[in-house]
Structure 1
Amino acid sequence: MQSQSKWALILVLPACLLLAVIGLLPLLAVVNYGFHDIFSLSDVHWVGFDWFADVLGSDRFLASLGRSLLFSALTLAIQLPLGIAVALMLLGFGRFAIWGLMLCALPLVVPWNMIPMLWLGMIDTQSGLLGPGLAAVGFDYKFTALHTWALILVMDTWHWLGLVVILSYAGLSAIPPQYRQAAVIDGASRWAIFRHIELPRLSGALAIVILIRFVDSFMIYTEAFTINAGGPNDATRFLSLELGEEIKGFSYGQAAARATLYFLIVLAVTYVFVVVTRRQEDRP
């Protein structure tokens, strides 16, 4: 047993070293930059926690944090139920469900930098696929705060819904059909079957989806910047957009401090999520 553990450690060691090189070392460099005022690589001055205090004391930071958390909450509230519903529908297609899964997975392979321009083109009233239809029913997209939020949410849902569908379908298809058949014989409703049979089996897949989608949606950048550059009137100015502005303004020390704070926020949320998930699993 000890020999097997030793060989397992040796086999994992190269992966750990690679992870340290591509992940840990750059992270430590960013944290270090957050304590300095950087004019150039040869002109670096120690400022301590000044950048961190400036960011945390900024009203714009708190407002952007609230918008980012709200966006993540909305994406999860929309994509989780919708993805599970689509997976349940595909489950009834039998062997033909693979075609539905492939269709849902297509947006996942679209390059992320093409998605905003794709949707802006689709809602164009002159040449877009959706624009003329929206105009025909009296809807005029005007880049207001509500319209911009709606477009970003729809675009993000279109892009990532396939991930929720695929993982949910995998969890649902692993449930033995005898469980559902026995529940139907006992007179259980469709909601009761989902609540007591299917949802518990989905908990593992949904935990992964929630964590991945939260982290990704919390740091959304390209879609929000391309659609309206954080506007109108900072309505879609998320945390990542403020970080991008500081990097473009060559304020590398403050940008590093801001990036470190964002990392700590995501790490704290992830830790709480893992603790809550483990407590749920430990319940009898």
Structure 2
Amino acid sequence: MKESNNTGWIFVLPAALLLGLVGLIPLITVINYSFFEIFILDKRFWIGTEWYRDIMRSDRFWSSFGRSTLFSALVLSIQIPLGIAIALCIPKRQFWVGLALAGVALPLLVPWNMIPSLWLSLLDPETGIIGSLMAAYGWSAEWKMSAVQTWIVLLVMDTWHWTSLVVILCYSALTTIPAPYYQAAAIDGASPWQVFWHIQLPKLQYVLLMAVLLRFMDSFMIYTEAFPINAGGPDGATMFLAVDLGEEIKAFNYGPSSARSVLYFLIVLTVAWLFTKAQNKIDAPDSKKAG
């Protein structure tokens, strides 16, 4: 019987304490504020779960929730297949691999707060490269007045920025596939689709689960990139959950904004738990085989 050794926790303890300081304490504070009517921080009145009841009965909340869910679904349906396709197309020769990965990773180096400014300048019909080209194909100079065009801008911008993450994760998994697998497939006369389905996709399932989780969480709580583009417009068409929360915070509505923050945290936590369950289901057959 193996002896348990807990000395490793000594090295984890400083990180756990730091995480508690920067994460747990603010979370507890926000939860506490969500049960109060706060005029100023020194004058608070206990109201219990009233903010939560108001939010859950609010059409505004459910509309924002629907927009955020739709945006995340579109992001995943675009970026996951695109990331896999690009990863499969990266050349196998070592010199070109480095150049390809460096080029793919460039959008990830752009700071979040600079991305909206970059794309707004590119879409300017007078000075922007993309705006000038798109104007010739009927792209309206007043695209901010169109909900469809605003959504297209947000999706393209987010895809440009984050597909690189999916590509890098997928490529790292593909490099772990032994060459004899491909040789055996070639001998059997397997088609490219069969190679992908039976050899490459099983190796990708773990990193894809991670990529889906990361991209869902980021896209579901999008704010830094979305708000400067059109500030939730036109007519609230891009008023996502995080943008809606930002409006509450700017209005100094501490109680409602705290309750919203807790609800959003619970939504993301629930999704993360579901992904953990999915990961366990994927691991279960492998553990049985190993046993």
The TM-score with structure 1 as length reference comes to 0.96
Deviations 1:214-254 (A, max 9, x none): 00000001222111111111111100111101100010011
1:131-146 aligned at under 5 Å gives the runs 131-141=131-141, 142-143=143-144, 144-146=146-148
Identify the residue that residue 289 of structure 2 maps to in structure 1: none
Work out which of the residue numbers 210, 224, 239 in structure 2 matches 1:208: 210
Q: Secondary structure at the match of 1:169?
A: helix
CA distance in 2, matches of 1:202, 1:227: 34
The CA distance in 2 between the partners of 1:137 and 1:58, in whole Å, is: 41
Shift of 1:40: 1.7
Q: Secondary structure at the match of 1:130?
A: helix
Q: Which residue of 2 aligns with 1:271?
A: 273
User: What is the identity, as a one-letter code, of the residue corresponding to 2:127?
Assistant: S
- Moved beyond 3 Å, runs of 4+: 91-95
* Residues 11-70 of structure 1 deviation map (CA, whole Å, 9 limit, x = unaligned): 211111111111111111111110111122210111100011111110010011011001
The share of aligned pairs that are identical, in percent, is 52
In structure 2, what residue type is equivalent to 1:109? L
Provide the residue aligned with 2:247 in structure 1.
Answer: 245
- In the TM superposition, residue 94 of structure 1 has moved relative to its aligned partner by 4.1
For structure 1, which segment, 132-141 or 173-182, has the greater mean C-alpha deviation from structure 2 after superposition? 132-141
Report the counterpart of residue 12 of structure 1 in structure 2: 12
Asked if the contact 1:91/1:169 (under 8 Å) is kept, the reply is no
Instruction: Determine if contact 1:121/1:127 at 8 Å carries over to the other structure.
Output: yes
The separation in 1 between residues aligned to 2:148 and 2:125, in whole angstroms, is 19
Q: Which residue of structure 2 lines up, in the alignment, with residue 51 of structure 1?
A: 51
Shift of 1:137: 2.8
Give the one of 171, 174, 197 matched to 1:172.
174
* 1:103-140 per-position Cα deviation (integer Å, ceiling 9, x unaligned): 11111111111111111111112111112211223332
Residue 28 (structure 2) aligns with: 28
Matched length: 283
For 1:265, give the aligned amino acid: I
Most deviating of 73-82 and 121-130: 121-130
After TM superposition, list the pairs within 5 Å mapping 1:17-166 onto structure 2.
17-141=17-141, 142-143=143-144, 144-166=146-168
Give the Cα separation in 2 of the matches to 1:95 and 1:5: 44
Does the aligned pair in 2 maintain the 1:91–1:173 contact within 8 Å? no
1:93 to partner: Cα distance: 4.6
Alignment match, 1:256: 258
